[in-house]
Amino acid sequence: MRRAIAVSILAAAGLVWPAALRAEPVLPWPIGLPTPSVYFVQSAKAQVRSGPSFSAPVLGEVGRAERLFSFSEAGGWVKVWFKWREGYVPAIVLAMHPPFPRAGVAKAAKESPRQMARRRLSAISAAPERGPGRPDQSRPPADEKAAYAALERAEALGATPEEFARFMATPAR
């Protein structure tokens, strides 16, 4: 019995160790088998189907940031391992990195209309330094300020989370 356990441990170590030494991806994967690609679900949720088609039965559902292992991708579907069997997920809802946070992006990129207009003005004043400017860049900043303000209004006009929740709860007919 002890011998059997020792042999099993050695066998498991043999399976794990060489795979752990590989640079990418770092997974305990048996020697000789093709290494899987790792995908992360990016959509709020995604259905896993038994075939690469919307008419195939649904095996289950996965949520955002969930990790899936795959060996192949074809025709807009990724073949993944799901609950001990083969499943298919649309490639457009997956990426090979975990979902990025949204807050940092918005904070870094969003300027007020005044900041945008000031930046635009400084771009116009810098135009002669880089050679002949395009005629479009000589547009009066007042118009542009109005456009930036319109953009901010359009961003603010979007539906509230409550309105969106109500919309999603009403099935399209």
Partner 1 sequence: MTALLCALAFLSLQAWPAPLGAPIRSWHERLSAGTEESLADVSEEVRLGREVAARLLLRYGPCDRPALARYVDLVGRSLAENSSRPELSMHFVLLDSEEAAAFAAPGGYVLVTRGALESMRDEAELAGVLAHELSHVARRHLGAELDRRGNSTERVSGLLRLLGTSPDAKHAALADRTEQSLDILLQSGLPREADAQADRDAVMLVALAGYDPSGLQRWLERRSGLKDAKASALDRTHPPARDRVGWVKDAIAQNGLAGRPLAASLSRFLEAVNGPARPGE
Q: How far apart are CA 61 and CA 121, in angstroms?
A: 50
Interface with partner 1 includes 142 (CB under 8 A)? no
Interface with partner 1 includes 76 (CB under 8 A)? yes
In whole angstroms, how close is the CB of 85 to partner 1 at the nearest point? 12
In whole angstroms, how close is the CB of 147 to partner 1 at the nearest point? 4
End-to-end CA distance of the chain: 65
Among 104, 138, 162, 169, binds partner 1 (CB under 8 A): 104
Interface with partner 1 includes 15 (CB under 8 A)? yes
* Residue (60 or 151) nearer to partner 1, CB: 151
Interface with partner 1 includes 172 (CB under 8 A)? yes
In whole angstroms, how close is the CB of 120 to partner 1 at the nearest point? 7
Q: How far apart are CA 145 and CA 115, in angstroms?
A: 9
Q: Write out the binding residues for partner 1, residues 39-68 only, by CB under 8 A.
A: 42-44, 46, 51-56, 64, 67
Interface with partner 1 includes 169 (CB under 8 A)? no
Among 34, 132, 138, 155, binds partner 1 (CB under 8 A): 155
Interhelix angle 113-126/141-157, nearest 10 degrees? 150
Please name the helix (run of DSSP H) or strand (run of DSSP E) that holds residue 116, with its range, or none. Answer: helix 113-126
Phi, psi of 68 (to 5 degrees): -130, 145
Interface with partner 1 includes 85 (CB under 8 A)? no
Interface with partner 1 includes 144 (CB under 8 A)? yes
Nearest to 141 by CA among 110, 108, 119: 119
Give the number of other Cβ atoms within 10 Å of residue 46's Cβ: 20
